[in-house]
Structures are given as structure tokens and as C-alpha cells.
Amino acid sequence: MQRFVARRVLSEANFLRVQQRCFTLAAADEKEVVNTDTPRPPVLPPFPYTPPRYTGPSGDEIMALRKKYVMQQAPYYKKPLNLVDGKMQYVFDENGKRYLDALAGVSVVSCGHCHPYVEEAIIKQMKSVQHTTVLYLNHTLTDYLQALADKMPGNLKVFYLLNSGTEANELAMLLARLYTGNNDIIALRNAYHGLAPATMSTNGLRIEKFNIVQTGILHALDPNPYRGDFGSDGKKYAQDVQNIIDYATSGKVAGFISETIQGVGGVVELAPGYLPAVYKSVREAGGVCIADEAITGFGRTGSHYWAFENQGVIPDIVTMAKGIGNGSPLSAVVTTPEIAEVLGRSTYYSTFAGNPISTTAGLATLNVIEKEGLQKNAYDVGSYLKKRLTALKHKYPIIGDVRGRGLMIGVELVEDRELKTPLPKKVSDEIHERLKDLGCLVGKAGLYSNVIRLLPPLCFNKEDADFLARALDYTLWNIRSVESSC
Ligand SMILES: Cc1ncc(COP(=O)(O)O)c(C=O)c1O
């Protein structure tokens, strides 16, 4: 693999020199055909929908009210976007400008914005009965769970539905502790599982924690193939979990929780061979293994329905959220009947859990993913997009890594390829801003906010992928002026 230094990527003369060198090395080493032409401004693919004229409050007016009434301000962009309409992989702002949504509300809108089948199913259910609670019977819950159970491997057949990924992970850890009678749970550095007390404790990123008491969690080395000490050797990282069990616990643990591809941490795929070795150590120490599929589930990673399948393991508990209901607040915990039994020891109740609207949305989402072949589409279009982005890596030394599976892709931006120094946040932010101006919405992730995170609706197509790659090409080509503009 080529190695070169681009110490001042943003200095124009250096940028061009390194870029040329990069091209030469890439072409020689990897026989890649890299287009070094000056990119033209990208044009959005045609789309046969025009939203009705928007007559509501402006973004400025909404922002003023948000500052007054909302506790924390987190909108993207110098001038936050007021999105007023959405169709499939596109969203529209208050002026009718169309954007390609390559983030999907952070991986939530799995089938597409206002997907007609999901929309129709929800409206139909709305007109029948909206809310009953699990204190009464309604077939929507069991219709959904029967279908969802068919998607689960092994003996993962008993569910509890909730409203968010955080709640699902909180319950998963409660189950682990009740079932094993142990307290310690091992999580990963660079992980994200939510922001309630137990889940916040598991987070392995300082930007996803508050300085309050957080107990019962031990953080293992992140098996990060790009930045980790052991490269892609999953077994070496797994030894750290065994060491934690041996040196930092009584020898007994309640469990282990991880994403299979870390999302908030910057689309980091766990090194191959990691989970089988860790699951073995954890089970030998009396613990159970929890897979957080909040982002990665429902076919997003393309090759499999659940990301843990990529590592050839079957967890004891799986949590799912986000794309589960195409936008409806819904999450789920699934486990074996044996583990599920512990919840009978006391009352566990959540008012909106398994409500008819969310379960209807969940079933409709499952059906659309199946009928429209969205898992295969995630594989085909995701592989194509990754290839296009990898070609850009050969053109721009500012791209340190392109990674991910299916339609979960990360582009890590660096200042120095050899040292892997993260690109300064102000430059990553400027790239993010310029992509938006070109009509392309992407996410930011990683401890240094230097990873472009792509989690589009699973109906994304190759023309969208071409547009996204052209938009990034155009942005990176022109970002040389960023030093003076920031
Ligand atoms: C992997 C993972 N787990 C859990 C959560 C928390 O989900 P929620 O925001 O629905 O509580 C998130 C949210 O980003 C996530 O990415």
C-alpha cells in the first residue's frame, strides 16, 4: 500500500504536488484508473416530484423559537436547514430546494421519505385505533413480532418493544445483569449506545458523556482496523477482553455489548475474527453477549440482514432501533425465552411500548425491505458507492480511509495520511457545509468529527451514488481555498 506524507494538505502548491504523487502511486500500485480532471459542478439526478409551495414559518423564525424553548441547540450548518418535505431519498427546504439525503435522519428513514406503502399502512391504522397499551390485546403487535421473529437466527424469539435505541440497550443490560446475577459489563472504546444512565456509561467517547457517576462498565480496546494497534487482527484485540475479565473483574461478568460497525464513532467495522473470540471469553466468564443493531440492522450492511452475521456469531440479546420503523419511534429487544423469563420478576412497563401505530409502521417497513429487495440494493449500490469513493481516495490525500459495508459508509478525513492526524474540525465542517450547498446532506462522526458518515435510505440508486461522489470530488478539489475562507 502506498505511503506518503501530506503535511500541509491545505496549502495549494503542496496539495497539487501530493495529489499528483498520490495518483501516480495509486496507479502504479493498485492499477486504479483515477480521473484527475478538474471536476465540474455536480447536477442532481432528475426526480419526478415538486413539493407544494411552503407557507409556514421560515427557518430563521423557527431557530429563534428553538433558542428560546429548546434546551440544547444542535442543528447542522451555519444557517440551519428548514426541511419541509421529503420523498424517498430526497428532502426539500422551505424554498423548494432539493437535497439528496445521504443521512436519512441518521439511518432512520430506511425505505425512503413518505414511502407510500408505509404511509398508507400508518394512516389506515390511525383511523382504526391509535393507542391501547399492552394492558389490552391488539393484533398489530403480534402480527409484527411474528414477522420480525422470522428474521432472527437461533433461539432469539422473544421481544420487548420500546421507543428508542437508548431504551432498548438499557433493557438489554438489565436483562444481562438479572439473568447472570453479575454486574460488570464490557463495552468498547469508541462505542455509542445511548444517553440514559446505563447506556451513557457504555459510551466510549468523551463527547458522548457527562461528568456524572457511571458504574459497572469496563472499556476494552477498540478493534479499529484503521487506527488500532493490531490492524485487522481481531483475535489480538479480543485478548484485551480476556485480560479485563482476568485483571479487572471477579472473573464473572454480566455481559458484553457492542455495535458490529460503530456508527457515532465514525463507521468503524470491528476487525474480522473479533466477535467470535470475545463471545467465547465472555460466555466462559458467565456473561451474555449483546449486539446493538440500532444502525446496522434491517439489511443496511447489504451482505446480511444483521451486521453481527458478518462476524459469524449469534448474540444472546439483540437490540434494534432507528430504521426499524422508517421514522416511527420504535425499538426492540430480542432474546431467548430462557433469558426473557427474568423480566417476570417484577413489572417492566413502558406506556407507548408496542403501540399499534409503531408496530404497523414496523411491519410495513419489514415488508417494503423484503418486497423491494432493499438489502440487495444496499449491497449493490453500497459497493458501487464505496468503489467510487475509494477512487477519490487515490486522488485526494485528505481522504485517509474509506470503509463500511452496504449503505453504511465512512470517509475519514486526515491532515496527514502517514500520521493519520484528523483533519481540523473547521475544515471538515466546511466540507460538510459545501456538500450541503451542492445539494447533498451527509453526516459527521468520530471523536474529531472528521468522518463523513453516509447512511442514506436503502432505496438510494447508482445515479445518487454518482452524484454524491461528484459532489465530494468537486468539494475536495475546491477546498484548497478553505484556509482563507474559515
Ligand atoms: C448504535 C446506537 N445505539 C443506540 C443509539 C441510541 O438510539 P436513540 O437515539 O434512538 O436512543 C444510537 C443512536 O445514535 C446508536 O447509533
Res 22 pLDDT > 90:
no
pLDDT of residue 354: 93
Atom of ligand 1 nearest to the CA of 259: 1
Residue 355 identity: N
Confidence of residue 73 (pLDDT cuts 50, 70, 90): confident
Q: How far apart are CA 266 and CA 451, in angstroms?
A: 6
Residue with the smallest CA separation from ligand 1 atom 8 is 165
Using a 10 angstrom Cβ sphere, with 0-12 exposed, 13-18 middle and 19 or more buried, the burial of residue 68 is exposed
The torsion of the CA quartet 196, 201, 207, 212, rounded to 10 degrees, works out to 80
Mutation test of ligand 1: which of 269, 290, 322 has the most ligand atoms closer than 8 Å to its C-beta?
A: 322
| 104 alpha carbon – ligand 1 mean position (Å) | 14
336-384 pLDDT tens trace: 999 999 999 999 999 999 999 999 999 999 999 999 999 999 999 999 9
The torsion of the CA quartet 60, 65, 67, 70, rounded to 10 degrees, works out to -130
Looking at residue 113, the DSSP 8-state letter turns out to be B
Res 1 pLDDT > 70:
no
Atom of ligand 1 nearest to the CA of 293: 1
Strand 440-441 to 443-445 pairing: unpaired
Residue with the smallest CA separation from ligand 1 atom 7 is 165
From residue 42, how far is each of 82, 168, 228, 347, 349 by CA, in Å?
A: 23, 41, 36, 56, 51
> Residue 169's Cα: distance from chain center in Å?
15
The model carries a pTM of 0.93
| 294 alpha carbon – ligand 1 mean position (Å) | 6
The number of C-alpha atoms within 13 Å of 6 and in the hemisphere containing its C-beta is 32
Residue with the smallest CA separation from ligand 1 atom 4 is 193
Residue with the smallest CA separation from ligand 1 atom 9 is 165
| DSSP three-state, residue 144 | helix
Res 156 pLDDT > 50:
yes
pLDDT of residue 29: 38
Tell me which residue has cell 435510505. 457
Q: How far apart are CA 440 and CA 465, in angstroms?
A: 11
**Across 75-87, average pLDDT:** 97
Q: How far apart are CA 208 and CA 111, in angstroms?
A: 28
pLDDT above 90 as % of the chain: 90
| 229 alpha carbon – ligand 1 mean position (Å) | 27
| DSSP three-state, residue 196 | coil
Backbone angles phi, psi at 369, to 5 degrees: -60, -40
Res 187 pLDDT > 60:
yes
**Across 130-151, average pLDDT:** 96
Q: Decide: 192 in ligand 1 pocket, CB within 6 A.
A: yes
**Across 56-83, average pLDDT:** 95
Strand 288-292 to 317-320 pairing: parallel
> Residue 226's Cα: distance from chain center in Å?
18
CA nearest to 270, candidates 235, 299, 320, 306: 235
Name the H helices within 372-461. 374-395, 425-437
286-311 pLDDT tens trace: 999 999 999 999 999 999 999 999 99
pLDDT of residue 442: 98
pLDDT of residue 9: 40
Q: Decide: 264 in ligand 1 pocket, CB within 6 A.
A: yes
Q: Decide: 417 in ligand 1 pocket, CB within 6 A.
A: no
Q: Decide: 170 in ligand 1 pocket, CB within 6 A.
A: no
Atom of ligand 1 nearest to the CA of 163: 10
Atom of ligand 1 nearest to the CA of 191: 1
pLDDT of residue 37: 77
Say which residues have a Cβ less than 8 Å from residue 462's Cβ, sequence separation at least 6.
Answer: 380, 381, 384
Beta bridge partners of 95: none
Q: Decide: 169 in ligand 1 pocket, CB within 6 A.
A: yes
Question: From the CB of residue 220, how many other CB atoms can be counted at a distance below 10 Å?
Answer: 25
Atom of ligand 1 nearest to the CA of 262: 1
Which of 10-24, 69-83, 217-231 has the weakest average pLDDT? 10-24
All three cell numbers of 195: 444517553
50-67 pLDDT tens trace: 999 999 999 999 999 999
Tell me which residue has cell 427474568. 342
Mean pLDDT of the residues in the chain: 92
Say which residues have a Cβ less than 8 Å from residue 348's Cβ, sequence separation at least 6.
Answer: 160, 171
Res 87 pLDDT > 80:
yes
CA nearest to 119, candidates 324, 360, 323: 360
| 7 alpha carbon – ligand 1 mean position (Å) | 36
Atom of ligand 1 nearest to the CA of 169: 4
pLDDT above 70 as % of the chain: 91
Q: Decide: 408 in ligand 1 pocket, CB within 6 A.
A: no
| DSSP three-state, residue 180 | helix
| 23 alpha carbon – ligand 1 mean position (Å) | 38
pLDDT of residue 34: 59
Residue 278 identity: V
Q: How far apart are CA 34 and CA 391, in angstroms?
A: 6
Confidence of residue 482 (pLDDT cuts 50, 70, 90): low
Res 11 pLDDT > 80:
no
Q: How far apart are CA 307 and CA 303, in angstroms?
A: 8
420-458 pLDDT tens trace: 999 999 999 999 999 999 999 999 999 999 999 999 999
Confidence of residue 486 (pLDDT cuts 50, 70, 90): very low
Q: Decide: 187 in ligand 1 pocket, CB within 6 A.
A: no
pLDDT of residue 27: 37
376-424 pLDDT tens trace: 999 999 999 999 999 999 999 999 999 999 999 999 999 999 999 999 9
